[in-house]
């Protein structure tokens, strides 16, 4: 990036070819396609936006490092932070959600922090991106109010100062991600954290916005999303690989958390 001035992209503008754009009040949603092996200029966006890779992927370069991104990945882009995308895979399609300043002013919200670009502070897909994408394609009379609520729910957790959370919340997140495929219990978590199980039970929902069981289900669904998009395995195999008892259990959980059945998501 040395010696180059990043290009500023205006509201609703992205690299690639825009094939479908919709505006829901102060929210702009769009789908973009990319030519194989294309490379963008170093650029940044004027508004916060989220992206969900529908097909393909690319290599993304930032000051903080390089990351390879594939189908099923949920991403956040903070305004003003430069990045470059190169080596787009054939058939790459990306769904974008852009939040304008009016959105944040209307709901009294702040921009999500820049650290969300390279951290794992929340599960973007299961906490809203797939549901928002569903409303973009549905686009009926109820979509405006649905879009507003879903975007508020997506952004609101970022308003909390995670530095003020107890240290055990960071540790329990790591434990649950490391042990997602093994039976977990409050007693196991209590032993790992050296914390009374009643304390975990009482305060988990306050800090994570759901029960420990539902958080574990979100981890499993988050792991399933990129596997569904790879199209290399049957939904039954993915269900077992991601820790569900069978495909029916997987479908029911996936639908409840994302608003789509796995086969519907695969077809988008």
pLDDT in tens, 117-156: 876 545 788 878 999 999 999 999 999 999 999 999 888 8
Number of domains in the chain: 2
- Order of strands across the sheet with 74-77? 17-24, 27-33, 93-99, 49-55, 74-77
Pairing of β 74-77 and β 65-70: unpaired
Together in a domain, 57 and 82:
yes
Together in a domain, 34 and 102:
yes
Asked if the structure places residue 33 within a domain, the reply is yes
Distances (CA, A) of 86 to 12, 133, 153, 198, 225: 21, 25, 32, 49, 23
Together in a domain, 190 and 152:
no
Asked if the structure places residue 106 within a domain, the reply is yes
**Residue 221 CB-density burial (10 A; 0-12 exposed, 13-18 middle, 19+ buried):** buried
Asked if the structure places residue 188 within a domain, the reply is yes
Asked if the structure places residue 182 within a domain, the reply is yes
Together in a domain, 178 and 55:
no
3-state secondary structure string across the chain: CCCCCCEEECCCCCCCEEEEEEEECCEEEEEEECCCCCCCCCEEECCCEEEEEEECEEEEEECCEEEEEECCCEEEECCCCCEEEECCCCCCEEEEEEECHHHHHHHCCCCCCHHHHCCCCCCCHHHHHHHHHHHHHHCCCCHHHHHHHHHHHHHHHHHCCHHHCCHHHHHHHHHHHHCCCCCCCHHHHHHHHCCCHHHHHHHHHHHHCCCHHHHHHHHHHHHHHHHHHHCCCCHHHHHHHCCCCCHHHHHHHHHHHHCCCHHHHHHC
Asked if the structure places residue 98 within a domain, the reply is yes
pLDDT given for residue 1 in this prediction: 54
Together in a domain, 123 and 204:
no
For the chain, residues with pLDDT lower than 70 are 1-3, 119-122, 158-164
Together in a domain, 45 and 80:
yes
CATH of the domain at 169: 1.10.10.60
State which of 159, 193, 213 marks the end of a domain: 159
Instruction: Name the residue range of residue 229's domain.
Output: 162-267
Q: Which two tokens stand for residue 260?
A: 């789509």
Together in a domain, 231 and 250:
yes
Together in a domain, 128 and 102:
yes
State which of 131, 159, 187 marks the end of a domain: 159
State which of 97, 127, 159 marks the end of a domain: 159
CATH of the domain at 155: 2.60.120.10
Together in a domain, 221 and 208:
yes
Together in a domain, 77 and 124:
yes
Together in a domain, 69 and 182:
no
Contact 73, 130 (CB under 8 A): no
Asked if the structure places residue 2 within a domain, the reply is no
Together in a domain, 60 and 86:
yes
Asked if the structure places residue 1 within a domain, the reply is no
Give the residue from 133, 150, 219 showing the smallest Cα distance to 181: 219
**Residue 262 CB-density burial (10 A; 0-12 exposed, 13-18 middle, 19+ buried):** buried
């Amino acid at each position: 990036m040395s010696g180059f001035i990043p290009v500023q992209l205006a509201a609703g503008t992205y690299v690639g070819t825009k094939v479908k754009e919709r505006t829901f009040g102060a929210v702009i949603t769009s789908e973009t396609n990319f030519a194989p092996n294309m490379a963008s200029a170093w650029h940044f966006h004027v508004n916060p936006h989220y992206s969900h890779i529908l097909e393909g992927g690319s290599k993304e370069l930032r000051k903080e490092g390089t990351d390879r991104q594939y189908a099923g990945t949920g991403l956040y882009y903070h305004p003003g932070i430069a990045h470059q995308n190169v080596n787009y895979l054939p058939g790459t399609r990306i769904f974008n959600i852009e939040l304008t300043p009016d959105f944040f002013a209307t709901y009294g919200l702040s921009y999500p922090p820049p650290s969300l670009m390279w951290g794992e502070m929340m599960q973007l897909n299961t906490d809203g991106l797939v549901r928002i994408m569903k409303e973009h394609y549905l686009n009926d009379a109820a979509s405006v109010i649905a879009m507003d609520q879903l975007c508020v729910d997506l952004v609101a957790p970022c308003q909390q100062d995670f530095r003020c959370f107890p240290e055990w919340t960071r540790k329990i997140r790591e434990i649950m991600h490391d042990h997602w495929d093994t039976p977990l219990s409050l007693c196991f978590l209590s032993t790992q954290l050296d914390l009374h199980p009643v304390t975990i039970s009482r305060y988990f929902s306050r800090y994570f916005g759901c029960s420990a069981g539902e958080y574990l289900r979100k981890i499993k669904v988050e792991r399933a999303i990129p596997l569904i998009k790879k199209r290399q395995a049957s939904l039954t195999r993915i269900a077992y690989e991601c820790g569900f008892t069978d495909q029916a259990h997987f479908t029911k959980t996936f639908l409840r958390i994302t608003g789509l059945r796995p086969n519907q998501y695969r077809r988008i």
